[in-house]
Structure 1
Amino acid sequence: MTTDVVQTVDVAVPVSTAYNQWTQFESFPQFMEGVERIDQLTPTRTHWVTTIAGVQREFDAEITEQHPDERVAWRTDRGIHQSGVVTFHRIDDRRTRVTLQLEHQPEGVAEKAGDALGLVQRRVKGDLENFKSFIESRGREEGGWRGDVGRSPQRPANGPADQPGTLPG
């Protein structure tokens, strides 16, 4: 059984600042509870190490769609089952609405019990609030990757992703 989570936060930075910071995956442990480490393997692949409720998990995630200042979508392909999308909506020149949609499949008794109690919803909400504090206190992003990933009219549906020149981070 999968669980869907949707949470939103408004941040007091321009949309490009919020988006650029979100593409710095290796900084996620600074504002995401339970994320120990993220390694950027390729422009579209990351390796995650998390510890939640004393259980350490490692998994890989693939960015399936990414459009600057709009969205980043992903899915796991080894380890846990998870997919999601984060979208960025310009409110005005200095404010952005960040919405995170997550689909995950809890494993084991403890995860299923925590899910039933709404722990994942609260964790995602807390992580978004932490992101808000993180980016607003800095006032600027640490870096950014403006690559575009996803299907384009010139590339077949099963074609390779765009090949950016540098890794985010």
Structure 2
Amino acid sequence: MRNHVSRVTSAIRGFSLGVLAMYLFDPDVGRRRRALVVDQFASTRNRLTHFADSAYRDAVNRSYGVAARLRPGTERRQPMTTHQVEERVRARIGRVVRNSHALRVQARDDGTVVLSGPVLASEVNRLMSAVWSVGGVAGIEDRLQVHEQAGNVSALQGTLAHEGHRGAGMNEKWPPSLRLAAGVVGGALALAGLSRNRPLGMVQTLLGGALVTRALANRKLGEVTRQSGRHGVHIDKEMFIAAPPERVFDFWQHQENFPQFMRNVEEVRPTGEDCWHWKVAGPFGPVEWDARITERELNRRLAWHTVQGAPVESEGHVDFEPAGEGTRLRVSMDYAPAAGAIGHAAARLLGRDAKTEMDEDLMRVKSFLETGVPARDSAARRTAEHPQRFH
């Protein structure tokens, strides 16, 4: 039995290595794929270095804070200044309000904190509770501009108006020092479990892997595996296009032309009024879903949402703002990959994540709208196969 399991394991390992070799050494695009993998490894190394530095500084700062709390009567002997109160309030509300940069905080000598600026109605209660929990706050003067939805408020763009979209999720974020400690402990548990051939070793490996996954993704495991939580990745992109808003908006309405400019979009076809069927090449095969236009403001905004049950849940909007003789294009999107955060990480390693694709595709669109000449790359091959319908 043990020999049979060993042969199966060897076969799986050999098959996996063969698939990897075919992917990386493809005669047409192998060089580009290898370059992407090298770039991703270099980027990952830089991010890990930055994360380790942040974790170290976070641990040092927290140790100072714990030491200060252990000294009795510290705050009574050293009252906080208004500047200290303001900084503590800003730090606290940054954990419970998504667009905390839009809020203004002013502390007075009597301990009253003045809050002003735009905020979503769904975040007001969490905001007030967070401010009251800050030491040194004796009262709150409410001058907030409360909005039910983000609408056209520029400071709130990128915020979804769904109840509880952030809030609780933000409270589940771990600080860098805790993430580093969890990752180290989880990795040690997983390695120790792999060295054992008993059921206890398997359980230990699973626990260690779960801890590492939680630390890397910095979100609840249910959201990582896409069992809870709706959106996993948020993307914002802004670009200037030297073409009038009418032309840019008109182009965006003709979604059937997207495959001519988007490298991994194989097909987009209308299925009804404001409904479209998408077929996109993914890292492990084509993925298909249906999406619906939910908001259309002529020459100003287009918003979309995937239909219920789509393998890739996504929603977002595109704003078209006049800027001189051109258009300021703003794209905001939230999406949940088919395999959650794990799927997004795999796609990012292969250069097929949504952010990388959006950057490349928008540059093709910009080039075409400004010059009238389609890009000379893989997406342009479809232009020759399918005559252009956009004018």
Normalising by structure 1, we get a TM-score of: 0.75
Larger gyration radius, structure 1 or structure 2: 2
Query: Within the alignment, does 1:80 sit opposite 2:324 as a pair?
Result: no
Judge conservation of contact 1:60–1:79 (CA < 8 Å) in 2.
no
Matching residue's letter, 1:85: H
Judge conservation of contact 2:283–2:350 (CA < 8 Å) in 1.
no
Matches of 2:322 and 2:358, distance apart in 1: 21
Query: Within the alignment, does 1:134 sit opposite 2:364 as a pair?
Result: no
Judge conservation of contact 1:8–1:128 (CA < 8 Å) in 2.
no
Alpha carbons of structure 1 residues 73 and 116: separation in structure 2 relative to 1, 3 Å: farther
Query: Within the alignment, does 1:24 sit opposite 2:254 as a pair?
Result: yes
**Structure 2 runs not aligned, ≥5 long:** 1-222, 224-231, 374-388
Matches of 2:360 and 2:277, distance apart in 1: 22
Secondary structure of 1:59's counterpart equals strand
Judge conservation of contact 2:277–2:289 (CA < 8 Å) in 1.
yes
Secondary structure of 1:66's counterpart equals strand
Q: Which residue of 2 aligns with 1:113?
A: 346
The one-character-per-residue Cα deviations of 1:59-105 (angstroms, maximum 9, x if unpaired) are: 0001110111111100111331011111101002x200111111011
Once the two structures are superposed, the pairs formed by residues 1-169 of structure 1 within 5 Å of their partners are 1=223, 2-77=232-307, 78-92=310-324, 94-108=325-339, 109-115=342-348, 119-138=353-372, 142=390
Alpha carbons of structure 1 residues 22 and 87: separation in structure 2 relative to 1, 3 Å: same
**1:115 CA drift (Å):** 4.7
**1:16 CA drift (Å):** 0.3
Matches of 2:343 and 2:313, distance apart in 1: 16
**Structure 1 runs not aligned, ≥5 long:** 144-169
**1:40 CA drift (Å):** 1.1
Q: Percent identity?
A: 27
Judge conservation of contact 2:283–2:347 (CA < 8 Å) in 1.
no
Matches of 1:54 and 1:31, distance apart in 2: 21
Judge conservation of contact 1:40–1:47 (CA < 8 Å) in 2.
yes
Matched residue pairs, number? Answer: 141
Matching residue's letter, 1:75: H
Judge conservation of contact 2:313–2:335 (CA < 8 Å) in 1.
yes
Structure with the bigger percentage of helix: 2
Matches of 1:39 and 1:121, distance apart in 2: 23
Matches of 2:316 and 2:358, distance apart in 1: 12
Structure with the bigger percentage of strand: 1
Matching residue's letter, 1:101: S
Matches of 1:3 and 1:56, distance apart in 2: 20
Normalising by structure 2, we get a TM-score of: 0.34
